[in-house]
Amino acid sequence: MRFIYWYLPLTQSFCFHLSSIFSTNFLSVRRTIQIEHPPLFRSFRMPSVSFWVLVSAFLFTLMSLSAKLCTGYFDPFEIVFWRSLFGLSLLTLVMLKKGIAFSTQHPWSHAKRSIAGLCCFTLEVIAVGLLPLSVAQSINYTSPLIFCLFFTLSSIIHRAKINWPIIGAILFGFTGVLLISKPATQDIDSVGILCGLAAAVCGAAASWFLRDLGRQGEPSERAVFYFMLSGLVLGGLRILCFPDSAHLPTTNTALPLLGVMTSGVAAQVLWTYAWSRGHSLLNAVFEFSGIFFGVFLGWLCFNEHLDWLTLTGIGMIFSAGLYSSLHLKK
């Protein structure tokens, strides 16, 4: 498995430039990165920053790959601890440099977002340890469908107009999940499927609560800070309560653990930056490329071979998720 560590120089390079992305003059970055657009895309007038959504999708897939390698040695709560320790250290420096206060007037909103985010990441680590990487990555992208489902339920409660095409997309996407899970066979771990779907639900809830924080005027850095702080506390309690079963990084496990920490944080920064300035249509298309990155890296690193039923399910999730995501961005 050592050959997969080719990606570490990439994640380390992005980690090295994180501070410049957080506090940079974004216009200068935009001028520096000049991407020649094919004629098909020139009509969109896509800012060059939209390219970073594609990069973040690749880095999120690398994080899942690294987490899968870590699950054979670390338990999910230990992975949460080390990732949170790295992220919290970085966010503390960023907030001090930018003069952002650590105190908040909306502790309950941060608590809801942090709990949902922690459940999402923990369940995602469990799912990626039980499922093929490509399958776990695809199920993770049902989160926009669930977010649209939240909107639909909200419309029903408030007696607003229901968007029936979105309901059709939701049903279409989850039909794809059924094709992947193959309920009539034992090819796919059912617990992993359930954990993946639960992670997607928690991810959609975290996005919903994050939207509320934005409406309350909370800076994104503070939201991520409290999320990382919660993960550090949760993982720290697990290590303190069960010290005999805790693990320290070894020579063989330090590299994938470093991949989880660096690629995850770098992906989040680039994703936030690109969505705040890029073209919504192309951003959504680039974001869902993570499904295909998962299929490719699963084949490259774990020799995963998918049958046509699974590939069809992945395509259905991609199509439904992309349609729903574009609807949300409107």
pLDDT in tens, 204-224: 898 888 888 888 988 888 988
Indicate whether 135 pLDDT > 80.
yes
User: Residue 56: CA atoms inside 13 Å, Cβ hemisphere, count?
Assistant: 23
Indicate whether 228 pLDDT > 60.
yes
Indicate whether 129 pLDDT > 90.
yes
User: Residue 177: CA atoms inside 13 Å, Cβ hemisphere, count?
Assistant: 26
Tell me if 10 sits within 8 A of 259, measured CB to CB.
Answer: no
Indicate whether 103 pLDDT > 90.
yes
Q: Of 9-13, 48-52, 204-208, 270-274, give the range with the top mean pLDDT.
A: 204-208
Q: What is the rounded CA–CA span in Å between residue 108 and residue 133?
A: 34
Domain boundaries, the chain: 67-329
Tell me if 293 sits within 8 A of 137, measured CB to CB.
Answer: yes
Lowest mean pLDDT across 23-37, 288-302, 315-329: 23-37
What is the CB neighbour count within 10 angstroms for residue 95?
A: 18
Residue type at 315? G
- Cα–Cα distances in angstroms (integers) from residue 74 to residues 139, 239, 240, 265, 286, in the given order: 23, 11, 15, 19, 32
pTM: 0.79
Which are the contacts of 65, defined by CB distance < 8 A and separation ≥ 6?
4, 7, 133, 259, 297, 301
Residues belonging to the chain = 330
Which are the contacts of 128, defined by CB distance < 8 A and separation ≥ 6?
64, 67, 68, 71, 136, 137
